[in-house]
Amino acid sequence: MSIPLQAGLVYGPVKSRRLGVSLGVNLAPDARKVCTFNCAYCQYGWTPPDPLGASVVDENWPTPDSIAEAVDQALARTSGIDRITLAGNGEPTLHPDFHDIVERLRLVRNRRARYARLAILSNASTLADASVAAALMRLDERYMKLDAGDDVTLRKLNGCGMGIEAIVEGLRRLPDVTLQALFTRDAQGKIDNTTEAAIGAWLTAVVRIRPTAVHVYTIDRDPAWKELQKVPREELQQIAAKVKQAGIRAVVF
CA distance readout (Å), 125 to 73, 93, 182, 216: 31, 9, 16, 20
Residue 117 CA to its chain's centroid (Å): 16
Residue 11 pLDDT class (50, 70, 90 cuts): very high
208/75 Cα distance (integer angstroms): 38
Between the two ends of the chain, the Cα-to-Cα distance in Å is 22
pLDDT at 175 over 70: yes
Closest CA to 194 of 150, 239, 253: 239
Residue 59 pLDDT class (50, 70, 90 cuts): low
pLDDT in tens, 24-42: 999 998 778 899 999 999 9
83/185 Cα distance (integer angstroms): 31
Task: Answer for the pair 92, 62: CB distance below 8 angstroms, yes or no.
Answer: no
235/161 Cα distance (integer angstroms): 29
**pLDDT (0 to 100) of residue 51:** 46
For residues 57-61, give the mean pLDDT: 67
pLDDT at 177 over 90: yes
**pLDDT (0 to 100) of residue 49:** 75
pLDDT in tens, 184-195: 999 999 999 999
Average pLDDT of the residues of the chain: 94
Instruction: State the pTM of this model.
Output: 0.93
* Fold assignment, 10-252: TIM Barrel (3.20.20)
Closest CA to 250 of 216, 218, 217, 208: 216
Residue 164 pLDDT class (50, 70, 90 cuts): very high
pLDDT in tens, 119-143: 999 999 999 999 999 999 999 999 9
**pLDDT (0 to 100) of residue 30:** 77
**pLDDT (0 to 100) of residue 58:** 54
pLDDT at 57 over 60: no
Amino acid letter at 225?
Answer: W
Q: What is the residue extent of each domain of the chain?
A: 10-252
CA distance readout (Å), 197 to 149, 152, 153, 194, 215: 9, 11, 10, 8, 20
